[in-house]
Chains A and B, each alone.
Chain A
């Protein structure tokens, strides 16, 4: 503290300071002065919350879209259900549009056009991320369901089980294990992409860094600090996902 004030004065007076002295001063300003580290920490909470909300929306949407599209594709020829067909067409457009436009543009449209009057930028951001993620998650799930050996579905059906029970008891449990790594990856991508909601005023980690930057006129330390926090979060979650996968594989005993 005393060192900080002392060296800061030195720097301000234009005197020659050693590199490590200015390093310390800038570090102190970026994280310690005025308890700024608390700002970062509270934004970590927001980042995790936004990720969780977006993931929940994404998985929910993904499951619905993938179920409808898979069921539509697996209908018996000549027995097409028109309601399923309608939803399939709508979901096709959804997946195509979401995957065919940049996330940044989607955020701007949601924040500045559709939810123009909302002040809760963070939640608008979370919602947008969730809708975006849903398209990708649905493709992951659909891929998992489709990639399972067709013989599994046939075996279930040949025993007299209907389409849904066969899906629920035979196809889905096997597909779930197959897609877990891809879902985990989607979660990590989502965690990092929360930083984008900053463009519509969402208040997460990057926002904290911006606040500090505008007060201290120093960019390097806040930005590197935020990068380090993301990195640590990603490493922790990657490790946890690895644990989960290994546990599932062990319970498999195959």
Chain B
């Protein structure tokens, strides 16, 4: 699904991703944890080129996205992204949030897109919010809508960057439930998260990042029970 080879990213002189090589297969649920500033978001954002790698190559489904000639928009369509702060379009209704990209890209007619949007909204229990504006919704509702907005593009993989970090505690569960269902359906996922319970339950593989490197990786259960690296032990002792 995704091949990352010698990925390096600088912000100015600041080395944020340090020669990362990794492979993600279809169906995997990668959970990414690590201290703040370790490069988790940057890694995720490089995968759909929201950040441009300084060097190295990334291949998505056989398409080398770091090639300047690659059709980045097509690649981005196949990688749904969910942000910490939802980034819903506040000037559009929930329905328009979901149908804008599929219709403007000519993937679906307006009717098809709306029918699909209603199906997706129903699935996350928000069908009755179709005509609301995002400003009227709670954080948990917004994030569920952001998830289905990405799903409306029928992506092959979903990228989540701390999807529950901006939520009030009582709303975390409803978002994680949607993500779990998605995982159960076989969606390939990469999730940056601080929800260790979710990581353990849903993840098939865990990356521990620090200093721009994937310092350690393992199955979540093995990692949590017996971290190898001193930095990983230190991190876990703080968060668990």
Contacts and interface: CB of A to CB of B under 8 A. Distances in A.
A250 interface: no
B143 interface: no
Majority DSSP secondary structure for residues of A touching B = helix
B52 A160 contact: no
B156 interface: no
Interface stretch (B76-84, B183-191, B218-226): B76-84
A208 B136 CA distance: 55
A169 interface: yes
Contact of B150 (A154, A156, A157, A159): A159
B153 A152 contact: no
Contact of B76 (A152, A157, A177): A157
Contacts of B228: none
A173 B91 contact: yes
Given A151-B83, A155-B87, A252-B91, A161 B101 contact: yes
B83 A155 contact: yes
Interface string B120-142: 00000000000001111000000
Contact of A160 (B83, B85, B89, B105): B105
Interface string A63-88: 00000000000001111000000000
A157 B101 CA distance: 10
Contacts of B89: 152, 155-156, 170, 174
A177 B105 CA distance: 26
A151 B73 contact: no
A154 B50 CA distance: 7
Contacts of B104: 161, 165, 169
Contacts of B85: 151
Contacts of B149: 159
A160 B76 contact: yes
A254 B153 contact: no
B52 A253 contact: no
B239 interface: no
A162 interface: yes
A174 B91 contact: yes
Classify chain B's interface size. Answer: 20 to 34
B76 A77 contact: no
A216 B88 CA distance: 66
Nearest to A154: B50
A101 interface: no
B56 interface: no
Contacts of A77: 52
Contacts of A177: 91
A248 B24 CA distance: 47
A160 B106 CA distance: 12
A124 to B, nearest CB: 40
Interface string A108-133: 00000000000000000000000000
Contacts of A6: none
A160 B50 contact: no
Nearest to B104: A165
Interface in A91-146: none
A66 B80 CA distance: 31
A173 B135 CA distance: 16
A13 interface: no
Nearest to A170: B89
Contact of A254 (B79, B83, B90): B90
B74 interface: yes
A78 B80 CA distance: 25
B91 A159 contact: no
21 contacts: A77-B52, A78-B68, A79-B68, A151-B87, A152-B87, A154-B81, A155-B89, A158-B76, A158-B150, A159-B76, A160-B76, A160-B77, A161-B104, A162-B73, A169-B104, A173-B91, A174-B89, A174-B91, A177-B91, A254-B90, A254-B134
